[in-house]
Amino acid sequence: MRQKISPRRYFFMGLAAMLCLLTFTPLSSWAVSGNNGGVASESQSAEAELNDISVHTTDLDDGITGVTGSVYIAASPKQVWAAITDYNHHKYFVPKLIDSGLISDNGREQVMFERGKTGILLFRKTVYIKLSLQGEYPKRLDFQQLEGDFKVYNGQWLIDAAPDGKGSILTFTARIKPDFFAPPMFVRKVQQHDLPMVLAAMKKRAESNFCDLHVAGVSDVNHSPKLPELDAVSN
């Protein structure tokens, strides 16, 4: 007698099949193309930029996913620091972020929040995270979830001088485990898709005139993640 397959099982079978397809989908296929020459050019430029970004994921114990990504930035470590600590403006230049901001700063520890969209294709979710951050300016910024939609979310941003002596290497490392249903394979695919866009956004921001203004305003900052507001620097 043929066994009846429940709708729930059909759903998970479809999910597994889709994830298998995504595993063999190159990152470049996510780039948006168009018939207009200018749009195509912009898309190809963005694709080339993403292809220059290295991202690796690993399966750790207890369902935790490890992720590491790095990018070369034609800017000083201080300019890169200004980009990654610009919490109040992340929502304006980091893809998929809906809201972000600095909650508190006691001189030793900062607390910030982010709310954004995650997922691929039909599987999307809005997530919230509140992070504690401590660092050594302008070399390292450690972060740890205080509350939010993850069972595990911690890691660090590392900023190193590039071998060419002109730019910087920005590296992001994290241990991630969502507090909602998401198989590790799915988490890996999301990170492989989203992290290059985040690193590309930080690169673009650090190489902009915006960060030049911020560096001028924090030249005397001690080893603290604190960064003045844009209005204060502009004035």
All structural domains of the chain: 45-234 (3.30.530.20)
**CA pair distance 92, 202, nearest whole angstrom:** 12
Q: Which residues are paired to 101 by β-bridges?
A: 113
Which pLDDT score, from 0 to 100, does residue 121 have?
A: 61
Find all residues with CB under 8 Å of 8, minimum gap 6, and list them: none
Instruction: Tell me the per-residue pLDDT of 4-55, one tens digit each, with 9 for 90 and over.
Output: 555 555 455 455 444 433 333 233 322 222 333 333 344 444 554 666 898 9
Is the pLDDT confidence value at 62 over 80?
yes
Residue 155 has what pLDDT? Answer: 98
Pairwise CA distance, residues 63 & 176, whole Å: 9
For residue 202, give the H/E element and its range.
helix 184-206
- pLDDT 10s digits, 110-168: 999 999 998 766 678 899 999 999 999 999 999 999 999 999 999 999 999 999 999 99
Distance CA 196, CA 227 (A): 25
Above 50 in pLDDT, residue 73?
Answer: yes
Higher pLDDT, 229 or 180: 180
* SS3 state of residue 183: coil
